Structure 1
Amino acid sequence: MDIRRPSCALIILLVLYFTHPTECIQNNGKINFREKEKQILDQILGPGRYDARIRPSGINGTGYAPTLVHVNMFLRSISKIDDYKMEYSVQLTFREQWLDERLKFNNLGGRLKYLTLTEANRVWMPDLFFSNEKEGHFHNIIMPNVYIRIFPNGNVLYSIRISLTLSCPMNLKLYPLDKQTCSLRMASYGWTTDDLVFLWKEGDPVQVVKNLHLPRFTLEKFLTDYCNSKTNTGEYSCLKVDLLFKREFSYYLIQIYIPCCMLVIVSWVSFWLDQGAVPARVSLGVTTLLTMATQSSGINASLPPVSYTKAIDVWTGVCLTFVFGALLEFALVNYASRSDMHRENMKKNKKDMVIDPQANIDAASDMMDTDSNTTFAMLARCEVHITRQKNCCRLWMSKFPTRSKRIDVISRITFPLVFALFNLIYWSTYLFRDEDEEK
């Protein structure tokens, strides 16, 4: 009996090996799941068993109902937002999930959670495309970043990593105090809503990486919505994600607004220079004017040519006007200075006029001089009395006898006040308009 027992056990093992070889390959009689996966894949995807050209049945296995595809995505990065080309680049992990009852299989009592494929052409795939895409590519380093998981109940999960450059029409009226909404649109190319419907996955369909960093924008929020489109060939299912970007103003404050303010203030230095310093005042005005024009052209070079006026156009235009006004002010001062000089020469010529001396006329002339001196003294006292009754502003202006000097003094006060008033109106208008549009 003891000799026969090992031979019977050996015979039983041989029978099990030839009848169920895949269950006896592993040590201790454990199942080789990799081999089992191969058998299941050959069984459900074998020739004559599955046709990838036919879409899955609809709800409850009815062939006339549309196939429901649930979509979700993970935004890995947003590399750039181009104002000139009106586009943005994004890298994302895109996922689709649908039910294909033809792919059901035995999960071996819960020990086989899913099957993995790397060839998308072996199963039916939704014909989704990105309608606002300009460029795009898959990632194939080191291996293609794509997989397909088939679950025991027939659910199919398709995941792929892609990089896209998408169109983003922008309204730049409030630039650079604006907010832009860029969309990512996905639609079916050939299947109508009678055959294929895209739905957002319940819960959290769009996820964004936590450490997302953009150089000149901040992603404030994102919204998911539907955008079904109707054409003469039918209605097509469509999904969209609206990404709301807020432009970071600190960059433009340092690079544009503060330099423009400095140029305007430098142009006011001309008001404090002597009227006779013609080369200094002319060179200062022309230099600031050319610098301001170069600054304005450099700003517009980075923006697309649009038919409306932007907020930055108003700012640079007014600053350029102030600089140009300072240059014109010197032209006016120079003209007034020459007029004052001509007037002084006329007065001097009148005082130098000499009448032929005669004895009787000299006596009369002396008497008239005495009377005129008395009259002049009385007029001077009256003038002092009247001057005391004038307001402080006119009293202060009376210290500058020439018109050219008065123009410079008035410009020293008027230009800064008007520029401060412009700043008050500019910032209050555009900041409040931005808040209204946000609501």
Structure 2
Amino acid sequence: MGTGHYFWVIFYFASLCSASLANNAKINFREKEKKVLDQILGAGKYDARIRPSGINGTDGPAIVRINLFVRSIMTISDIKMEYSVQLTFREQWTDERLKFDDIQGRLKYLTLTEANRVWMPDLFFSNEKEGHFHNIIMPNVYIRIFPNGSVLYSIRISLTLACPMNLKLYPLDRQICSLRMASYGWTTNDLVFLWKEGDPVQVVKNLHLPRFTLEKFLTDYCNSKTNTGEYSCLKVDLLFKREFSYYLIQIYIPCCMLVIVSWVSFWLDQGAVPARVSLGVTTLLTMATQTSGINASLPPVSYTKAIDVWTGVCLTFVFGALLEFALVNYASRSDMHKENMKKKRRDLEQASLDAASDLLDTDSNATFAMKPLVRHPGDPMALEKLRQCEVHMQAPKRPNCCKTWLSKFPTRSKRIDVISRITFPLVFALFNLVYWSTYLFREEEDETF
């Protein structure tokens, strides 16, 4: 057997021995972890009912630092005034009773999955409506105990939180939804919550909301005093801006189109009664349906919203176009009645002239006293007419453009239609100018909060 063969045999046995020693070391290390856990959490050695001491072992309040990671924001409901969020919630505090030997830096931390093994802060979400933990495949929770006694508690939860909204500028509004966390039983003499230094709130980068944009978030404190004492409280305010493009396409443009379609009635013949009535009623019912659909997706509030002003004015314009036709129809019948009366009067005058001419033919020998056609220069009536003519010649009246233009349309019904063709679009354009300048300016003012 050669020297090389002996070398490989020795190397093989050495490898087996080293692997066996490594496995034994790992087993021993896991056993050391178990011993440490038994040492600090064994029966009769740690009582989870007693809170930790204050800073540097003093009798002051226990300090708990909070930080959040917002994983997703599912829905923001206007009608229920609530929003749903999924987040990773973390608490960190120091419990000197949990200090242990780190075995020369080899044991970085101990991990637990049972929160009832150690003392836990009695934190609750004060504006929570519903909430649940995540237990698939295993409960999404862990507790890390560090050698210096620091405890890190992390859990993934889903919450539905109340979000009172001010909808006066809807849908040009911004909303602030808060997440409030407070102590339920420990007062500030025993427990104080603080935001973790640095970056206490993180938000996932690819956060997408269907109708909102998360502009920014602010952290603050909200301690509350009651009859039983003062309780520590933290809050984070999420500022959401409503995406206006959706409402522009779904509400504002269709309403404008309905108003413009109602103006087609002004260009139809005044005798086309079925066409004008059906057009006016159809646009009115469509606008009313659009308004009711908008209100169905919003809570019944006591104040007027921006969308109420828009739909109300658009509904008024459509209703005004329908009333305009009623006025045109009434004026048309009045014009017809006047025309018939004039025709009858002309017929009577023609009949009287015919009767007078027949009378002249039959009584040609009769004599009539004829007055002179031209008055004498001294006649006072002639002088008065001469002065009136001189006054008219000296001060000629300027022609009225509007009356001259309206005189082209002989009937009142046609004049009403022509005036409506100009008045309705001008008034609607003026309303748009006032509406958008008012609410967009208010929106810029609200950016300060």
- 1:89 paired with 2:98, answer no
Structure-2 change in CA distance of 1:231 and 1:359 (3 Å): same
Partner of 2:252: 257
- Deviation, structure 1 residue 25: 6.5
Structure-2 change in CA distance of 1:30 and 1:231 (3 Å): closer
- 1:390 paired with 2:399, answer yes
Query: Equivalences for 1:148-159 in 2 at 5 Å?
Result: 148-159=143-154
Q: Which runs of 4+ in 1 moved over 2 A?
A: 24-33, 360-364, 391-395
Distance in 2 (alpha carbons) for counterparts of 1:362 and 1:243: 107
Distance in 1 (alpha carbons) for counterparts of 2:269 and 2:94: 87
Partner of 2:128: 133
Structure-2 change in CA distance of 1:423 and 1:361 (3 Å): farther
- 1:335 paired with 2:330, answer yes
Identity %: 85
Query: Equivalences for 1:215-254 in 2 at 5 Å?
Result: 215-254=210-249
Distance in 1 (alpha carbons) for counterparts of 2:296 and 2:26: 70
- 1:404 paired with 2:424, answer no
Gaps of 5+ in 2: 1-19, 375-391
Partner of 1:377: none
Q: 1:415 aligns with which of 413, 424, 449?
A: 424
Structure-2 change in CA distance of 1:224 and 1:417 (3 Å): same
Does the CA contact (< 8 Å) of 1:74 and 1:93 recur in 2? Answer: yes
Structure number with greater Rg is: 2
Does the CA contact (< 8 Å) of 1:75 and 1:91 recur in 2? Answer: yes
Q: 2:206 aligns with which of 202, 205, 211?
A: 211
Deviations 1:352-401 (A, max 9, x none): 0112231179999xx9xxx9xxxxxxxxxx9xxx89x4243332211101
Query: Equivalences for 1:186-335 in 2 at 5 Å?
Result: 186-335=181-330
Partner of 2:360: 359
- Deviation, structure 1 residue 33: 2.2
Distance in 1 (alpha carbons) for counterparts of 2:192 and 2:46: 22
- 1:37 paired with 2:28, answer no
Partner of 2:14: none
- What amino acid is the match of 1:223? L
Distance in 1 (alpha carbons) for counterparts of 2:69 and 2:25: 42
2:37 is paired with a residue whose SS is helix
Deviations 1:326-375 (A, max 9, x none): 000000000000010011111111110112231179999xx9xxx9xxxx
Distance in 2 (alpha carbons) for counterparts of 1:420 and 1:30: 81
Distance in 2 (alpha carbons) for counterparts of 1:407 and 1:31: 99
1:75 is paired with a residue whose SS is strand
Distance in 2 (alpha carbons) for counterparts of 1:236 and 1:189: 8
Does the CA contact (< 8 Å) of 1:25 and 1:32 recur in 2? Answer: no
Structure-2 change in CA distance of 1:135 and 1:30 (3 Å): closer
1:411 is paired with a residue whose SS is helix
Partner of 2:65: 70
Distance in 2 (alpha carbons) for counterparts of 1:28 and 1:191: 47
Distance in 2 (alpha carbons) for counterparts of 1:361 and 1:259: 77
Deviations 1:52-82 (A, max 9, x none): 00000111101x2000000001000000000
2:155 is paired with a residue whose SS is strand
Distance in 2 (alpha carbons) for counterparts of 1:31 and 1:283: 88
Structure-2 change in CA distance of 1:399 and 1:45 (3 Å): same
Moved more, 354-363 or 159-168: 354-363
Does the CA contact (< 8 Å) of 1:218 and 1:247 recur in 2? Answer: yes
- 1:46 paired with 2:42, answer yes
Count residues in correspondence. Answer: 401
Distance in 2 (alpha carbons) for counterparts of 1:30 and 1:216: 54
Distance in 2 (alpha carbons) for counterparts of 1:82 and 1:30: 53
Distance in 2 (alpha carbons) for counterparts of 1:125 and 1:65: 17
- Deviation, structure 1 residue 48: 1.1
* TM-score calculated relative to the size of structure 1: 0.88
Gaps of 5+ in 1: 1-23, 372-381
Distance in 1 (alpha carbons) for counterparts of 2:39 and 2:306: 66
- What amino acid is the match of 1:427? W
- Deviation, structure 1 residue 434: 1.3
* TM-score calculated relative to the size of structure 2: 0.86
Partner of 1:8: none
Q: 1:59 aligns with which of 55, 75, 80?
A: 55
Deviations 1:249-291 (A, max 9, x none): 0000000000000000000000000000001000100010000
Distance in 1 (alpha carbons) for counterparts of 2:363 and 2:192: 118
Does the CA contact (< 8 Å) of 1:26 and 1:32 recur in 2? Answer: no
Distance in 1 (alpha carbons) for counterparts of 2:323 and 2:229: 66
- What amino acid is the match of 2:430? L
Query: Equivalences for 1:103-182 in 2 at 5 Å?
Result: 103-182=98-177
- Deviation, structure 1 residue 35: 1.7
- Deviation, structure 1 residue 32: 3.1
Distance in 2 (alpha carbons) for counterparts of 1:32 and 1:216: 57
- Deviation, structure 1 residue 438: 1.9
Structure-2 change in CA distance of 1:115 and 1:392 (3 Å): same
Distance in 2 (alpha carbons) for counterparts of 1:297 and 1:159: 46
Distance in 2 (alpha carbons) for counterparts of 1:159 and 1:114: 14
Structure-2 change in CA distance of 1:349 and 1:123 (3 Å): same
Task: Indicate the RMSD between aligned Cα atoms, in angstroms.
Answer: 2.4
- Deviation, structure 1 residue 436: 1.3
Distance in 1 (alpha carbons) for counterparts of 2:297 and 2:109: 51
- Deviation, structure 1 residue 29: 5.4
2:168 is paired with a residue whose SS is coil
Q: 1:428 aligns with which of 428, 433, 437?
A: 437
1:421 is paired with a residue whose SS is helix
- What amino acid is the match of 1:309? T
